[in-house]
Structure 1
Amino acid sequence: MPPVTALKRLYRRVPPFASERAESVVSDVVIPEWTGVRRPARADARRNFDALLEAARDVFAERGFDASLEEIARRAGVGIGTLYRNFPTRDQLLEAVYVNEIEALVRVAREASDLEPWESFTTWLDRFVAYVGTKKALIDGLNRESGVLDACRVVMYEAGRPLLERAQTAGAVRTDVGIEDVVRMVAGVAGVAYPEPDQRDRVVGIAVDGLRAR
């Protein structure tokens, strides 16, 4: 079964924030099956794994997808051998960082579901804006043929869709837009290079405010 088809079927059984199992859609399905990387079971090894992902995200954002792996290991506080044991290739590290950002979107969707509809939806969009910045740093280095990007796109849409629909049902968001429209609009606005970060935040805020029901 193609990865994206399998993921859609899985999401029909496990809505993004219905239970603790939701986060395992990414951690236990996408990461190992489509990146070839599996999070270690041992606590200390998992800490190293997560530290490497965090350091890689920051270093790639600062220096681009071809940044030094040695610098990433140093930033994570581990040796280069530990990096290669967890991520044998640069491609696998790039994909794992990307997938980890999608996992964060799933987690925020679940955590935000208890908020009032508009706040829930915009909380997820705030995290999506951060994801856009990471994706911009990684995209040129990601393997477009691996299936990871397509699989993650499904996860992202299915994480945000219930929040949008809940806000629409509550009368907070206009009903003539879908999650794909929202994602493309916010990504387009957030992905532009601005002289100052607060300018980006202001323009994104204006765009998101345009989604309100009038």
Structure 2
Amino acid sequence: MRADARKNYSQVLAVAREVLTEQGSSASMRDIARRSGVGLATLLRHFPTREALYEALLCTNLDALTHKAKELETASAPEEALVSWLREWVEFVQSYKGVVTLMASAHTNADSALYASCAAIHSASARLLLRAQKAGTARADMNGDDLFALMTALGWAVDQPSFAPRADQLFHIIASAILTSQTSNDLPQKHPSKKRQSS
């Protein structure tokens, strides 16, 4: 990539992060181009779709999230690993307004720029669920698709201003419904949110 193209790319990503934080996943590509000081054609050359732009912004965060799942598989008791993973997910979707809607629609669309990332998240959560099921600490009548659906529903809810104040309560309800050995009062309390590394 030429130096000027690399500069444009970095500038677009920096501005896009600001615009998406302000406006969510429905942010205008034309507005991002204007605020980046590049033409719309230049923006679309780098990122042909809004999903492709989101994928570039989220790459580091999604990789970190799937890596965290691998750590939890070996470092924590099965039920604790699953709860910690759900916590990580909630913190992630709260950091990127509107991302859960994009990921939900990309989940079964192999042509989507976010498809591979969604597949990685889905696989990671399914492994953690299966591990807890084998240990007898998660209900046996659900699978990875069910868990991803619940994660998506929870992510959508906490992304809504009207539900955001109840994010912790909603998390406890869903987590205690998945686990067989704990009630919501037994679940670990929320840790202070960590600032995620930007991509």
2:99 aligns to what?
A: 135
- Distance in structure 1 (CA, Å) of the matches to 2:16 and 2:71: 25
Alpha-carbon distance between aligned partners in 1 of 2:118 and 2:79, rounded to the nearest angstrom: 23
In structure 1, the partner of 2:148 is: 183
Question: Are the counterparts in 2 of residues 60 and 137 from structure 1 also a CA contact under 8 Å?
Answer: no
Q: Give how far 1:201 is off.
A: 2.3
Q: CA RMSD in A?
A: 3.9
Local SS of the residue matching 1:148? coil
User: Residue 63 of structure 2 is aligned with which of 103, 117, 122?
Assistant: 103
Partner of 1:162: 127
Contact 2:93/2:155, CA 8 A, preserved across alignment: no
Aligned partners of 1:139 and 1:178: how far apart in 2? 19
Tell me the distance in 2 between the aligned counterparts of 1:159 and 1:100: 16
CA distance in 2, matches of 1:62, 1:172: 40
Q: Counterparts of 1:127 and 1:180 in 2: how far apart (Å)? A: 18
How far, CA to CA, are the matches of 2:173 and 2:14 in structure 1? 30
Matches for 1:24-39 after TM superposition, within 5 Å: none
Cα 1:136/1:155, change in 2 over 3 Å: closer
CA distance in 2, matches of 1:119, 1:204: 14
Report if aligned partners of 2:122, 2:145 keep a CA contact under 8 Å in 1: yes
Q: Is this contact kept in 1: 2:125–2:147, CA < 8 A?
A: no
Q: Is the 8 A contact 2:103 2:114 kept in 1?
A: no
Cα distance in 1 for residues equivalent to 2:180 and 2:142:
11
Residue of structure 2 in register with 1:121 after alignment: 82
Could you state the TM-score of these two structures normalised by the residue count of structure 2?
A: 0.60
Instruction: State the shift of 1:69 in Å.
Output: 2.6
Q: Which amino acid aligns with 2:156?
A: G
Provide structure 1 residue ranges, at least 5 long, that are not aligned to the other structure. 1-39, 74-78
Displacement after TM superposition at 1:211 (Å): 0.8
CA contact (8 A) 2:17 2:57 kept: yes
**Gapped regions of structure 2 (runs ≥ 5):** 182-199
Q: Identify the residue that residue 205 of structure 1 maps to in structure 2.
A: 172
Q: Deviations over 1:81-131 (max 9, x none)?
A: 9x96x9455643223235444323212212323122222111211222223
Distance 2:17 2:101 in 1: 9
Aligned length: 163
Distance 1:149 1:138, change over 3 A: closer
